[in-house]
Structure 1
Amino acid sequence: MCTSLTYEDLDGMWYLARTMDFNFDLGGRPVIIPRHYHFKSDVSEAGFSGDYGFVGTGRDLNGYILVDGVNEKGLGVAELYFVGQAQYAAQAVPDKTNVAPHELLMWLLGNVACVADLPQAMAHVNVVSAANAFMQIVVPLHWIVADATGACAVIEITQNGVNVYDDPAGVMTNSPDFNWHLMNLNNYTQLQALPHSDKKFGDYAAQSYGAGSGALGLPGDYTSVSRFVRAAFTRQYAQKTKGQAASINNIVHMLDNVNIPKGVKLLDNNKCDFTQYRAYFDLSRHAYFLQLAENTEITKVALTETALNATAAQEFPIAHEQAFIEPQK
């Protein structure tokens, strides 16, 4: 499972960040997809292409599959699990671009420039219930989308159809559906960064035990419901910083609040759901940062004209191999 949030720094620059929580190592690494790249599809022999280049974490599985990224227009997308509620089209539809759930993210990054264009863009694509060959299941997903203006939206495809919701909280986790999570925030209006004031109980004046009492009641477990509340609280009150380096460092600490160490969240099959990596997207400067669980170093890959105009996708070493890699300008 995963947690995502947006962040604006003191320079007015916007970021999207996510944890990738899963029960086995997906083996992804930073990849730049150039402009007009053609993707294979598990739905259509024709596949699909995109006008825009982008960078994110992915893997070449007889064709690249990415799970998050930012494109050259400053649009960032991350896919998150949506178990029990995702429901896709049963078959392809003529006159639309037909993609599998695990392919929609690549189509969005390659073809959509901003959040405002999402509703119209989604009207031209049909997400078909097709299995991912690597995982051998139809992957249940929903998507958080943000851009350099600060606009943020969530895409959910359910039995009620395709829904594109504005995300005023700037946060997303997993099931239940997004509107449920927003309504649940109404249960936490008592949360605040300041300590609570003294309270009278009869003639007794109760005093809080100092700083931090304003967060009493903040849920601390690893469910998607609790992580949503915790991420929303942290995003609301975390101090703003200036500059890319300071802002990425700040977001690192914000995501510490929802990081899942190995061993604390076991599944029914006794496998371990854990945060295997965290990614930070600079939507304003079109840069991508990847931090693995095994290493606190951060790999940075920025989009350049040379990389965007390449004829092939380009993979990059991760931090324990070589840190802070960028393509040549």
Structure 2
Amino acid sequence: MLAMCTSFTYEDADKNWYLSRTMDFEAELSGRPVVIPRNYHFNSTVTAEGFAGQYGFGGAGRDLGGYFVVDGVNEAGLGAATLYLEESNYSEKPLADHVNLGSPEVVPYLLGHYASVAEVKAAVAQLNVVAVPNPFMKIVVPLHWVVADKTGAMIVLEQTGNGLEYFDDPAGVMTNSPQFPWHLLNLNQYPHLRPTIEASTQYGDVKATGFGAGTGAMGLPGDYTSPSRFVRMAYLRQNAEQVSGEANVINTLSHLTSSVNIPKGEKLMANGGSDYTQYRGYMSLNTGHYYFQPYQDQTIYEITLSEDLLNAKDAHEYPVAQAQQINVLN
């Protein structure tokens, strides 16, 4: 079982930052928008006491006898998302004097406890991801994580043989395997990509002028593998129009993620199942708004972190299949 996701940051014309992700998976996760209130208690597969954080957040998840949250943005402007990484090397057992977590618990822990990437960096040495099976998937889920905040800072967290490590992400993009440093190195194969018309070239007595606009991006990978999606999104992010206003930004992000959106049937697994983009999530790191765009109808739903929701006793879930055309979820 393998999930192939793409995540990236975007800065708008007003210097506001956003984090986006596609959730690509074979198994039906049935993820939906959810608001987790302040001090909400999460059960843990590693410790009996579980954990609760001071910040509330909105994101995508599912109630499986306790919430399984795979991405979101908190009230302080910290955003995070899970992505698959086959090379994950988790600890075989909990470590003393550490916060010990199962891999799917990392995102809700980060969003509940930290306000910035700087705070996450300072805490990483005390976090330990333990190789415990997830009750829903029945496997140890191999993940890495992207974390971003409203300053534009973005890091990738990966657990290697040296423990949980963070990597600054100057490209502002992450996909799946291999590990993050490999993807940055791979970008060195694509310094020629441009959004402009390529200059003409002489071949003997033949002058090759190309077929018009777009020739500068010839060779941009178009397949659905993780390395290709990383390069494609790095190129698109670099050259994307900077628009103003959150509604215009979300429209732009929807168009950008369309380039890595995987329709059903286009990427088949060894067992015959179809890995496809179940939803796309867009996080405004300045306003704390979370946007959810499901595969079924492409409607974009918005979660607003109101004080009533943040101070509620229980999490609030929005089953979008029943929401019809109500686009704003308050």
Same fold? TM cut 0.5: yes
Q: Once superposed, what is the RMSD of the aligned Cα atoms? A: 1.1
Unmatched runs of 5 consecutive residues or more in structure 1: none
The answer to whether the Cα contact below 8 Å between 1:291 and 1:299 also exists between their aligned partners in 2 is yes
Task: Tell me what 2:252 maps to.
Answer: 250
Q: Give the deviation of 1:160 after TM superposition.
A: 3.4
Quote the Cα distance in structure 2 between the aligned partners of 1:309 and 1:210.
Answer: 56
The corresponding residue for 1:15 is: 18
Match of 1:103 in 2: 105
What residue is the counterpart of 1:35 in the other structure? 38
Distance in 2 (alpha carbons) for counterparts of 1:126 and 1:139: 15
Q: Name the structure 2 match of 1:143.
A: 145
Aligned to 2:180: 178
Task: Provide the aligned length of Structure 1 versus Structure 2.
Answer: 326
- The answer as to whether partners of 2:83 and 2:143 remain within 8 angstroms in 1 is yes
Query: In structure 1, the residue corresponding to 2:269 is in which secondary structure?
Result: coil
Displacement of 1:319 after TM fit? Answer: 6.1
State how far apart, in whole Å, the 2-side matches of 1:160 and 1:96 are. Answer: 14
Task: Write out aligned runs for 1:19-168 (5 A).
Answer: 19-83=22-86, 85-168=87-170
Is 1:7–1:235's contact at 8 Å kept on the other side of the alignment?
A: yes
> Is residue 221 of structure 2 the alignment partner of residue 235 of structure 1?
no
Identity of aligned residues (%): 52
Confirm or deny that 1:279 pairs with 2:281.
yes
More deviation, 271-280/122-131: 122-131
Give SS of 1:123's match. Answer: helix
Q: Is the 8 Å Cα contact of residues 154 and 178 (structure 1) preserved in structure 2?
A: yes
Query: Counterpart of 1:233 in structure 2: which amino acid?
Result: Y
Question: Secondary structure of the residue that 1:143 maps to in structure 2?
Answer: strand
CA distance in 1, matches of 2:234, 2:209: 27
Q: 1:2 maps to what in 2?
A: 5
SS of the aligned residue for 2:328 comes to coil
User: Match of 1:78, as an amino acid?
Assistant: A
Q: How big is the shift at 1:276?
A: 0.8
* Aligned position for 1:200: 202
Q: 1:220 corresponds to which letter in structure 2?
A: G
Please give the secondary structure, in 1, of the residue aligned with 2:92: coil
> Shift of residue 320 of structure 1?
5.4
Structure 2, gaps ≥5 residues long: none
